[in-house]
């Protein structure tokens, strides 16, 4: 099953093109940390022959607790992402949460991401899509796979066809998520590139009371399974020291573990394509 090809900056996604890696820390923890992480992932991706898009949030507006670290904010965060994009010559992605962020974000980002909790907000989706930039829509944890079709139609109604869908798990009982691999098949049948977010899929929302937990042991098994089923890009939260990360550490992949994970996923992806 081949999806349409969408352009994310200099990188084509879908349409039978090579598997793309979308990776980076959950949130920008500082300019030096973000730049170092982006540079190291770029090196790892280059050695593996994988096209790479850097992701990091300038503001995590949906943290569990009021006291949780949210990021440097719109102005400083976009400046950091702009610098990384220019210095490393890589596309950048971040999520937008409010209407007033859309314009400034579209001036910097190659991909504007609509968070899972906002994927049903019609006016917001169409406003983001009208920028003409590539839009990554994260399927809400509360949606069945086929429920994403009306969401795609909302975005496409603006004339923007540069749309990507990301699976990030579905709500399953208290503080837990589950991934139904059938959903990847269903969503790819809609024609747009599908991304699998292997790290948010092992998140335990609110699992630590005032913060979300996670179980990174299952990132690689789920990534392997998704590659076998068929995806156009793999989304990973990556951090130099996940246990010290200011956001989503329990479900993040360590930089040191990324090469091996990529290697096994790429072998499975190649076998499936053969």
pLDDT confidence bin for 212, thresholds 50/70/90: confident
Q: What is the pLDDT of residues 213-236, one digit of tens each?
A: 888 999 999 999 999 999 999 999
Give the domain CATH number at 62: 3.20.20.70
Q: Which domain holds residue 60?
A: 6-273
Q: What is the pLDDT of residues 89-136, one digit of tens each?
A: 999 999 999 999 999 999 999 999 999 999 999 999 999 999 999 999
How many separate domains does the chain show?
1
Residue 54 lies in a domain: yes
DSSP-derived letter for residue 240 is S
Q: What is the pLDDT of residues 139-189, one digit of tens each?
A: 999 999 999 999 999 999 999 999 999 999 999 988 899 999 999 999 999
Strand, coil or helix: 28: coil
Query: Torsion angle of alpha carbons 151, 154, 158, 161, nearest 10°?
Result: 30
Token pair of 234, please? 């793999």
User: 32-38: long-range contacts at Cβ-Cβ below 8 A with a sequence spacing of 24 or more?
Assistant: 33/240, 34/80, 34/81, 34/84, 35/80, 35/83, 35/84, 35/87, 35/88, 36/240, 37/238, 37/239, 37/240, 37/255, 38/84, 38/88, 38/90
Residue 250 lies in a domain: yes
In DSSP terms, 233 is beta-bridged to 20, 195
Token pair of 205, please? 């929302």
What is the C-alpha to C-alpha distance for residues 261 and 209, in angstroms, rounded to an integer?
Answer: 30
Helix axes 74-88, 99-108, angle to 10 degrees: 20
Q: Which residues contact 43 (CB under 8 A, 6 or more apart)?
A: none
Residue 67 lies in a domain: yes
pLDDT confidence bin for 205, thresholds 50/70/90: confident
Residue 159 lies in a domain: yes
Residue 233 lies in a domain: yes
Q: Which of 2-6, 59-63, 67-71 has the highest mean pLDDT?
A: 2-6
Residue 193 lies in a domain: yes
Residue 1 lies in a domain: no
């Amino acid at each position: 099953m081949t999806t349409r090809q969408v352009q994310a900056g200099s990188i084509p996604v879908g349409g039978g093109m090579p598997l793309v890696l979308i990776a980076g820390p959950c949130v920008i923890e500082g300019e030096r940390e973000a730049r170092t992480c982006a540079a190291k992932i770029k090196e790892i991706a280059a050695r593996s022959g994988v096209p790479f898009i850097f992701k990091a949030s300038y503001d995590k507006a949906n943290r569990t607790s009021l006291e949780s670290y949210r990021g440097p904010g719109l102005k400083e965060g976009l400046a950091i992402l702009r610098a990384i994009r220019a210095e490393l010559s890589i596309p950048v992605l971040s999520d937008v949460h409010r209407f007033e962020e859309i314009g400034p974000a579209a001036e910097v980002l190659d991909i504007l991401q609509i968070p899972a909790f906002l994927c049903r907000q019609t006016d917001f989706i169409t406003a983001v899509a009208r920028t003409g930039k590539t839009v990554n829509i994260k399927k809400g944890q509360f949606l069945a796979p086929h429920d994403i079709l009306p969401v795609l139609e909302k975005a496409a109604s603006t004339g923007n066809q540069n749309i990507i869908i990301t699976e990030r798990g579905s709500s399953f009982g208290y503080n837990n998520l589950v991934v139904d691999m059938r959903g990847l098949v269903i969503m790819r049948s809609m024609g747009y590139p599908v991304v699998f977010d292997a790290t948010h899929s092992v998140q335990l929302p609110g699992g630590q009371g005032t913060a979300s937990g996670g179980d990174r042991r299952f990132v690689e098994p789920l990534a392997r399974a998704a590659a076998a089923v068929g995806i156009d890009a793999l989304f990973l939260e990556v951090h130099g020291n996940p246990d010290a990360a200011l956001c989503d550490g329990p479900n993040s992949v360590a930089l040191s573990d990324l090469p091996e994970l990529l290697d096994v996923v790429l072998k499975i992806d190649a076998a499936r394509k053969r």
